[in-house]
Amino acid sequence: MIAVLTSKLFFRAVLVINAILVLLPVFFLFNSALRETNSFASNPFALARDPHWENFQQVWSDGEFASYLKNSIIVTGGSLVVILICALGAGFILGRYNFKGNAIIFGFILTGMLIPAKLAILPLFIQLKWMNLLDSHIGLILVYASGALPAAVFIMSGFFRSLPSDLDNAARIDGASEFQLLTRVLAPLVRPGMAIVAIYSAIPIWNDFFLPLVFLQSPENKTIMQGLTVFFGQYASQWGVLFAGLTMAALPLIVLYLVLSEQFIKGLTAGAVKG
Amino acid sequence: MSVSGLKREQRKYIAFLLAPAILVILVFTTVPAVTTLSYAFFKWEGFQRGGFAGLANFQRLFEYPFKDQFLMALRHNVLVFIAIMILQTSFGLLIAYSLFQLKRGQRFFRTVTFLPVIFSLVVVGYMWQVMLDPYYGPINMIINDLGFESFAKPWLGSTSTALPTLVFINLWRWVGFPAIIFLAGLNAINQEYLEAARIDGATEGQIFRKIMFPLLAPSMTIITILTFIGAFEWFDLPFVLGGSNGNPAGATDTLALMFYRLSFGSVDSNANEVGVGSALGVFIFVIVGLGAAVGQHLLRKREVEQ
Amino acid sequence: MKIASRRFRGLVAAAVAVSAIAVPVITALPASANTELTFWSWRTEDKAFYEGQVAKFEAKNPGIKVKFTPYLNTDYNAIVSTALTAGKGPDIIQMRPYGGMANLSDAGNFLALTTKDVPALGKLQAGILAGAQGYLDKKQYGYPYAISAMGIFYNPDMLAMAGVKALPTNWDQLMNAFKKVKAAGMLPLGNAGGNGPALEQLHASVGPTFYGGTQFFNDVAAGKKTFTDKAYVASLKAVKDLVPYMPAGFEGIDYNTARGLFANEKAAFYIGGNYELGYFRSLNPSLQAGWIPPVAKVPGAKKYVSTWADGAYAINAKTANKAAALKFLNFLASKDFGQALVDEIAFIPTAPYVKITDPVVKAINSGRSSLGTPFLNVVGFRYATPTSSNILQPGFQKLITGAITPEQLAKDVQTAVASWYAPQKGKS
C-alpha cells in the first residue's frame, strides 16, 4: 500500500519537476521582456515590478516586427492553402481508388519525406533563380508545400480510406460527379484530418528561419524568425528589448497552442502515432 | 473502387486531383534532390558549374583541409545521436509513464510537457544563450549564489562543455515529443491485459517490463528513426548558437553545418566549395537513408502484434 | 456530366487567373516616384549613425531615397554572396577589405570605379586603395572609407586607483600594470575568448612587436620566412600570456560582453581596434578612455600599430540606379561624411583634410601614421581558403585553453597558407 502511494507520489513529482523545468525559462522569457535592460546586471530574476511596455513598442517600430509578422502570415497561410488543396486531392485519390500506379505514386510521395530541403538547398536556389522566384514569397511557399506534402498526403489518405465506401456508391447513384463526390460529400467528413494537416504543416513553416535566410533577400520580404536573427544582432546587449522581441515572435504560437492544445498535440505527432 | 470501372471523364478528374501534389513534389523536392547528388560529380567555381570531375570531390573531402573538419563533425553527430537517444528516450518514457499513471491533472501536465516543442529553435536558442551567459546570465548567477563557483562555467563558450550544453538545450526543447508518443502507445494498450496481470499478482514493475515495454516497440521504432534522422541532419540549434563555424573552435560543428559552410562560404572569406559540399551532401543522404531503412527493418522485427 | 465538367474547367481557369494576378500582387514592391537605393552593411552598431547621414543625403538630393540595412556580422558574407548570385543584391554594398570579398569582386559583382566617377579616389594612397581591389585583376571596386588601427585602450581612473603611475611602454611594464590592477581587486583585461575574430585582433595588437612588424610581413609575403619562424611563435605565445588577466570564464565570454566590461568600467584595459571606441561610448557616454600604442616586447624595441583599410563602399555592378548610386557613393567619399565618421563613431576616415579633434582618435591616428604595419592576416592572406584567419580564429580559442601549443598553431597556419599561396608553397 505504502509502495503504491510512494510510487504515485514519485510520478507526480516527476511531472512537477518537469513542469518547473519547462515553465521557469518561459517565465524568465516573459518577465525579462518587461524589464529595463540595465536592471539585469544586478538581479536576473527580479520580477518586473513596473512593466516596461515600451520594450514592446521599440520592437514593433524599430525592429520592423510588423512587417516580419505580416510576411510570416502570408508565407505560412499561403503554404497551408497550397498544401491543403494538393493533399485533399491526392489523399482522396490515393485513399479511395485502386489503380495500377497507386502504390508506386504513394511510395514516390512518401520518399519525399526522407529528403530534407536543406540538402537540396543549392539546386533549389539555382532553380528558383531560373524560375524568377527568388526573393519572393511564392517561391518559398512552393518549397515549403513540397516539403510538407508527403506527410500531408499520408495523413489525408488515411482519413479518406477510413470513410465507409458505401458513401461513394450512394453519391454516384444520386448522380454526383467524382468532383462533387469529393467536395460535397467526403471533404466535410475529413475536416479533422485537414485540421491535423494544417497544424502539422504550419508549425515548422512558421518556425523556420533557414529557407527564408537563403531565399529572401529584400528586408521587406523577411519572415519573423529570419528577422529575429537580424534583430538579435542589433539588440544583443539590450536584454529588455531583446526578450520583448523573442516574446513577440513566440507569442502567436503559444496562444494558439494553449487554446487548441489537444489538436496541436494530435497534429504534431500525427505522422508518428498510429491511429 | 476500381478505376477501370469509371468513365473517361471521371478518370480525367482523378488525374487533375492527383497532379498538383505530384507536380509540386517533383519540381521542388525530387528534382533538386537528384540534382544535388549530381552536383558532387562536377567542378565548381563559386556558383558556376564547370566540367565533369568524376570522384574528385569525394576524394577532396578526405584531404586537407576538409578531412579533419569532416571527421570531427561526424564524431559530433554520432555522439549527439547516442546522447539524445539515451536521454530523450528514457526521460520521455519516464514522463509518459508518469502521465499514464496520473488520473487528476493529466491534461495540464500534458500541455506543459509538450509546450517547448512548439517554440522556434531561434527563440529557444537565443533564450538559452542569454540564460547561460557566463557573466550576467541567471543560471551562472544562481550557481554562484548556491556556492558552487567552480561550476559556473562558460557553458556555451568552452570547447569541453559546448556540445553537451547544446544537447541539453535540445533535450529541453524536444523531450515532450517522445513523451507524447509513448503516452499514445501506452494508451493504446488493451487495458484488459493490464488488469489481468494485476489480478494475477504482478507488480507494476513486472507489468511494465513484461507487457508495456514490448508493446511500446512501434513507438520506439518511430522515435529511434526520427532521432537518428534528426541527429545526423542537426543544423538549426548549432547554427543559431555557434554560427556556421561551430563556435567555439569547431566544438559544435556538425555535418549539416559543414555542408552549409561549403555551400555558402564562411565568415571571413566567401570562397565556397560547392563540389565538396555536394559530395558531403551525398554522404549525409546515404547515412540518413541507410540508417532509416536499416533501422526500420531491424526494429519492425521487434514489434509485437497485440 | 457535361455541365459539371464545364463548371470544373471554369473553376480551374479561375484559379489560374487568380494566381496569375495574385503572384505579382504578392511579390510586387510598392511603386514609388523616387529612386530607391538599398545599402547593406555588417555594422549593426552604426545603424543610427548611417540613418542620420542618409537623412542628410536625402535632404540634399530630393528624389533619391536610401534604405540602410545592417546584418549580423557573422551572416553578412553569406547573405551578400547569395543575394548577389540571385541577382538581388543591394545597390550599395559595404565591402570587406582585401581578400574578404575578393572572389565576389573577381566574379564581376562590383562596379569598377574610376577617378572620373569618384574623384576622391585620386586622393588616397596606394596601400589604402589596395584594400578594395580585386585579387586577380587589380581594378578598383570600392572606396575604402576608414583606416583601422590596433592598440590598447585604458581607463585612467582605474589605473590611478590601482596605483599604476606611468603608462606601460614595454611588455614587462604591461604585465606589471595588470598585476597591480589585479592586486587592487579589479579586472585587468576585458578581452575574452568567446569570439575568434576578437582574439585575432588581440594578436594583431600585441603580436607585431614580437614577430617583427613590416619586415616580417614582407618576408612572409615573399616566401623568405614562414609562419613557423620562432618570432611568430613568440607572438602567438604572447596572447596566451594574457590569459591570467582575462575575466573569469573568459573562454565563453562573447565579444559584446567583453567590450561591455571595459565600457562599463569593470575592466582597466581593452586591447583592440579603434572602431571599438564608438561602441564603448555608445554603451557609456561618460567613459573617459585613453589609448596607447601596443607596447614593445623589450625596452627599446620597435613598437608597431597594425593598420589596414577597413572596409569600403562598393556599387553593385547590376544596379538599376547607377547614377543615383554614384551620387551616394560620392557623398560617402566626401569630406563632410568623413568628418562625421570621426566625430560621431570615432572612425579614422580615409578622406584627407578631415579635422580630428577628439584626443583619443588623434592619438590613434598619430600612432598609426608613425608606427603603422600591415595587419598581417587581413592584408596578406585572405585571398583563398583556408585563410590564415580561418586557422587562427578557432586556433586562438584552443590556444588560450591550452588545447594546442603556439608551435602547433603556427604549424597549422603555415600548412593552410602554403596550400594556396604561391611563394609559400612547399615550405613548412
Q: Which residue of C has its CA nearest to B157?
A: C252
Q: Are B268 and C378 in contact (CB under 8 A)?
A: no
Mean of pLDDT over chain B:
85
Contacts of A232 in chain C (CB under 8 A): 72
Residues 364-423 of C with CB under 8 A from B: 382-387, 389-390, 393-395, 397-398, 401, 403, 415-416, 419
pLDDT of B195 reads 83
How does pLDDT run across B53-73, given as a tens digit for each residue?
Answer: 888 889 988 988 889 889 999
Give residue limits of the domains in chain C.
Answer: 35-145+311-333, 150-306+378-424
Contacts of C104 in chain B (CB under 8 A): 270
Q: Which residue of A has its CA nearest to B130?
A: A239
Residues 230-269 of C with CB under 8 A from A: 256-257, 260
Per-residue DSSP letter, A161: H
Q: Which residue of C has its CA nearest to A71?
A: C26
Pairwise CB contact (< 8 Å): A217 & C82: yes
Cell of A190: 475529413
Query: pLDDT at residue A275 above 80?
Result: no
What CATH number does domain B59-302 carry, 3.40.50.300, 1.10.3720.10, 2.130.10.10, 2.60.15.10?
Answer: 1.10.3720.10
A7 interface with C at CB cutoff 8 Å: no
Q: Which chains contact C through at least 3 pairs of Cβ atoms less than 8 Å apart?
A: A, B
pLDDT of B171 reads 95
Give the residue with greater pLDDT, C339 vs B159: C339
Cell of C416: 593552410
pLDDT of C1 reads 37
Q: What percent of chain A has pLDDT over 90?
A: 20
CB atoms < 10 A from the CB of B103, how many?
Answer: 6
- Could you say which of C4, C8, C256 has the minimum Cβ distance to residue A236? C256
CB atoms < 10 A from the CB of A224, how many?
Answer: 29
Residues 83-142 of A with CB under 8 A from B: 85-87, 89-90, 92-94, 96-99, 105, 108-109, 112, 114-124, 126-127, 142
**Going by DSSP bridges, is the β-strand pair B48-52/B42-45 parallel, antiparallel, or unpaired?**
antiparallel
Q: How many CA atoms lie within 13 A of C352 on its CB side?
A: 8
Stretch among B91-100, B188-197, C323-332, C366-375 having the lowest mean pLDDT:
B188-197
Contacts of C416 in chain B (CB under 8 A): 65
How does pLDDT run across A99-129, given as a tens digit for each residue?
Answer: 777 888 888 887 787 777 788 888 898 889 8
Pairwise CB contact (< 8 Å): C87 & A233: no
Contacts of C72 in chain A (CB under 8 A): 229-230, 232-233
Give the residue with greater pLDDT, B14 vs C168: C168
Residues 44-83 of A with CB under 8 A from C: 74, 78
Q: Are C93 and C80 in contact (CB under 8 A)?
A: yes
CB atoms < 10 A from the CB of B305, how many?
Answer: 6
Q: Are B21 and A153 in contact (CB under 8 A)?
A: yes
Q: Are B172 and A23 in contact (CB under 8 A)?
A: no
The DSSP bridge partners found for residue C147 are C309, C348
pLDDT of A97 reads 78
- Could you say which of C82, C252, C419 has the minimum Cβ distance to residue B134? C252
Q: Are C176 and C168 in contact (CB under 8 A)?
A: yes
Stretch among A253-257, B86-90, B147-151, C360-364 having the lowest mean pLDDT:
B147-151
Contacts of A226 by beta carbon, 8 Å cutoff, 6+ apart: A68, A209, A212, A213, A216
Contacts of A211 in chain C (CB under 8 A): none
C108 interface with B at CB cutoff 8 Å: no
Give residue limits of the domains in chain B.
Answer: 59-302
* Chain B contact probe: residue of C397, C420, C421 with most B CBs at under 10 A: C397
Q: What are phi and psi of B48, to 5 degrees?
A: -100, 130
A261 interface with B at CB cutoff 8 Å: yes
Q: A138 CA to chain C: closest CA distance, Å?
A: 7
Contacts of C303 by beta carbon, 8 Å cutoff, 6+ apart: C169, C209, C293, C294, C295, C296, C371
Placement of cell 510537457 in the chain: B113
Instruction: Please identify every stretch of chain C with a pLDDT value under 70, giving residue numbers as ranges.
Output: 1-33
The string over B145-159, giving b where at least 16 C-beta atoms fall within 10 Å of a residue's C-beta and e elsewhere, is: eeeeeeebbbbbbbb
- Could you say which of B65, B135, B247 has the minimum Cβ distance to residue C253? B135
**Going by DSSP bridges, is the β-strand pair C187-189/C267-273 parallel, antiparallel, or unpaired?**
parallel
Q: Are A155 and A197 in contact (CB under 8 A)?
A: yes
* Chain A contact probe: residue of C69, C195, C256 with most A CBs at under 10 A: C69
Contacts of B109 in chain A (CB under 8 A): 15, 18-19
pLDDT of C5 reads 41
CB pairs under 8 A between B and C: 124
Pairwise CB contact (< 8 Å): C86 & A74: no
Give me the mean pLDDT over the A176-185 stretch: 73
The torsion defined by the Cα of C384, C390, C392 and C397, in degrees rounded to 10, comes to 180
CATH homologous superfamily of C35-145+311-333 equals Periplasmic binding protein-like II (3.40.190.10)
Q: C266 CA to chain B: closest CA distance, Å?
A: 12
- What is the sign of the dihedral through the CA atoms of C17, C18, C23 and C29? positive
Q: Which residue of C has its CA nearest to B264?
A: C78
Contacts of A123 in chain B (CB under 8 A): 31-33, 35-36, 39
Residues 49-78 of A with CB under 8 A from B: none
A132 interface with C at CB cutoff 8 Å: no
Give the residue with greater pLDDT, C391 vs B8: C391
* Residue A207: C-alpha distances to residues A71, B209, B243, C20 (Å): 13, 38, 18, 28
State the pTM of this model: 0.84
How does pLDDT run across A11-24, given as a tens digit for each residue?
Answer: 889 999 999 999 99
- The ipTM assigned to this model is 0.84
* Residue C41: C-alpha distances to residues A48, C67, C75, C112, C324 (Å): 35, 11, 11, 19, 18
Contacts of B207 by beta carbon, 8 Å cutoff, 6+ apart: B194, B197, B198
pLDDT of C17 reads 43
Task: Assign a CATH topology to domain A54-268.
Answer: MetI-like fold (1.10.3720)
- Could you say which of A90, A98, A146 has the minimum Cβ distance to residue B29? A146
Give the residue with greater pLDDT, A239 vs C340: C340
Query: pLDDT at residue B85 above 90?
Result: yes
Give residue limits of the domains in chain A.
Answer: 2-32, 54-268
Name which of C94, C259, C239, C377 is nearest B268 in CA terms: C377
Mean of pLDDT over chain A:
83
A203 interface with B at CB cutoff 8 Å: yes
- What is the sign of the dihedral through the CA atoms of A68, A27, B127 and B222? negative
CATH of domain C150-306+378-424: 3.40.190.10
Span between the terminal Cα atoms of chain A, in Å: 36
Q: Which residue of B has its CA nearest to A106?
A: B22
Which helix (H) or strand (E) segment is C291 a member of? Answer: strand C290-292
Q: Is A50 left (phi over 0), alpha (psi -120 to 50) or beta?
A: beta
